[in-house]
Structure 1
């Protein structure tokens, strides 16, 4: 006998979405340190045990919500050039992740058991850009992550100030040079 499969968009997906929505709303209304699993459960219309069973603890739930929010809602800008597309993506990523909510998302993901998933998301976004220009010399996704995304994240998490846009452009130029 095989295990039942979850239906995409079924009850499980609706419960997850209601819990994610409750987390997002509570984080907008109050300081994150005061958000609790019982508050989230009450807002989502589920029992706290539902949250603990699915995520284990609050930090895992916050990380899951952060990862879901990191998924792009739209495809990255298509400027007509590889350099322009990477710049547009990197500037948007820098802007979003430098904000207080972005910084909190990065910290939630960093503290989770799934930090590599963040690299998968970023890698997918960058691969989409690279795939637009198959006839041009182009760097690998790993090179772009190492030379563009990693410095952004490092400076946001471990420095007093985020990377400056001019520095970001210099890194992109180096990453794209062959």
Structure 2
């Protein structure tokens, strides 16, 4: 193959390679800045400077800081561990809960959780992104629970799992109220499998009489 053809092929590959590098650098810059300063504690210019790119590059690709934050959050969340298929409901739930615990206590776990919560305040685009992600996670979780039902195991709905396993883990990490030990995470799943408390869904709940 000629040297000219090699040069042409290299030039044709550069845009995609550079685009991926720019995207990764900008995403990492956002993650680092959120970890250091919290959500909305920085500007596009600071993200660009941290990533080593021009402001115009960020605006051209993402349009605004809000859209960039949504993209970072969804990218991080959608690259998480796949839904397990161990052959039993107990095995699936224990494995999945342990995966989530590792993810949210990892190097960027708290930052990603904060970004996920912050999507609600980033306008219509952020709300759509948040809702799309939640719907996708619910479908994936329900598919795991449906497999258990098809095997003849006791049915369980996705919201019950979220209420009794996921929510306590998120609260512990977001508010730093306790470690996510393996024993704690397994205990959440074990109590759910033993029979979760019945949810109160009726309207008009009042405080108990004093």
Pairwise same-fold verdict (TM > 0.5): yes
Cα distance between partner residues in 2 of 1:104 and 1:28: 7
Partner of 1:11: none
Query: 2:26 aligned with 1:23, yes or no?
Result: yes
Q: What SS does the aligned partner of 1:162 have?
A: coil
Shift of 1:16: 8.7
Match of 1:108 in 2: 115
SS in 2 for 1:100: coil
Number of paired residues?
Answer: 163
Q: Is the 8 A contact 2:80 2:103 kept in 1?
A: no
Q: Alignment partner for residue 59 of structure 2, among 29, 49, 54?
A: 49
Q: CA deviation at 1:44?
A: 8.4
Distance in 1 between the 2:162 and 2:20 partners? 30
Q: Note the residue ranges of structure 1 that are not aligned, 5 or more in a row.
A: 1-13
| C-alpha displacement of 1:128 | 2.5
Distance of 1:45 and 1:51 partners within structure 2: 10
- In the alignment, structure 2 segments of 5+ residues that lack a partner are 1-16, 121-126, 196-210
Q: TM-score, normalised by structure 1?
A: 0.71
Contact 1:41 1:51 in 2 (8 A): no
CA RMSD of aligned residues (A): 3.5
> Larger Cα Rg: Structure 1 or Structure 2?
2
Aligned position for 1:132: 147
Cα distance between partner residues in 2 of 1:149 and 1:40: 33
